[in-house]
Amino acid sequence: MITTRPAAVLFDMDGLLLDTERLIQAAMMAEMAALGFGFAPADYAELIGRPEPASRAIMQARFGPGLDYDAMRAAVRQRIRDEWGPLRPLKAGAADLLAQLNAAGILCAVATSSEQALARSLLGPVGLLDGFAAIIGCDDVAQGKPHPAPYLAAAARLGVDPARCLALEDSHNGVISAHGAGCQVVMVPDLLPATPAIRARLLAVAPDLATVGRWLAAAA
């Protein structure tokens, strides 16, 4: 439950605003199978919330030099583009929550493990981009999630103390990042559950973004 109105709300993107983690997981499993590698949901879970360089290192350590990671990732992105074009499915309640916060005068920013340009290219077509005062991509910081740098940068860009920010996350790495930055954190689980270790870092777990909206509307 959220009891105090935040000065700003900091959003993750994939799996929180956009229902993309499932798309990426399915595409990676298909492309890895085509390359002759076994790739399970548990393998993908290690990558959720991490920036591209960290994902590359994990995959190369797991599958060895026989995996052309860059070629695989390009094929994954092309597969998703072929299916979805420029649009990505929104998570339920995403547009309504952002509109609610904008109407209330609460600053909003994105802190994502995707690159800045990619984030803008995905948020624009679904009508969310203009609702954010700042977008922090993984290429805007020296260290990505789970390091606190993305959330520290987002709060700094807004000119708000991280302690007065509410961070919304779906991934364990994102929760660790936001908590480490000093934000209050609500997890809206997507592919990963809120484990006991993650719950210890959270203000609350919400089943969906509509619930977050109701909590914020009732907050003093």
Residues whose CB falls within 8 Å of the CB of residue 13, separated by 6 or more in sequence, listed in order: 20, 110, 112, 114, 119, 122, 123
pLDDT (0 to 100) of residue 116: 96
User: Which residues is 135 bridged to in the sheet?
Assistant: 110
- If phi > 0 it is left, if psi is from -120 to 50 it is alpha, else beta; for residue 52 that is alpha
Q: 172-196, pLDDT tens digit by residue?
A: 999 999 999 999 999 999 999 999 9
pLDDT (0 to 100) of residue 1: 82
Extents of the domains making up the chain: 8-19+89-218, 21-84
Q: Reply yes or no on whether the pLDDT at 60 is more than 70.
A: yes
- Split at pLDDT 50, 70, 90, the class of 80 is very high
Nearest to 9 by CA among 171, 211, 179, 166: 166
Q: Please provide residue 205's backbone torsions phi and psi, each rounded to the nearest 5 degrees.
A: -115, 130
- Dihedral sign for Cα atoms in the order 169, 173, 176, 179: negative
Q: Reply yes or no on whether the pLDDT at 208 is more than 70.
A: yes
The span from the CA of 4 to the CA of 118, in Å, is: 33
Q: Which amino acid is at 168?
A: L
Q: Reply yes or no on whether the pLDDT at 148 is more than 70.
A: yes
- Dihedral sign for Cα atoms in the order 177, 112, 208, 103: positive
Residues labelled as active-site residues: 12, 14
Question: Per-residue DSSP letters for 100-153?
Answer: HHHHTT-EEEEE-SS-HHHHHHHHTTTT-GGG-SEEE-GGGSSS-TTSSHHHHH
Q: What tokens were used for 213?
A: 């909206």
Q: Please provide residue 146's backbone torsions phi and psi, each rounded to the nearest 5 degrees.
A: -85, 5
Q: 46-55, pLDDT tens digit by residue?
A: 999 999 999 9
CATH number of 8-19+89-218: 3.40.50.1000
For the chain, what percent of residues have pLDDT higher than 90?
98
DSSP 187: E
The span from the CA of 220 to the CA of 37, in Å, is: 52
- Burial (CB count <10 Å: 0-12, 13-18, 19+), residue 143: middle
Q: Reply yes or no on whether the pLDDT at 86 is more than 90.
A: no
- Split at pLDDT 50, 70, 90, the class of 20 is very high
Average pLDDT over residues 10-28: 97
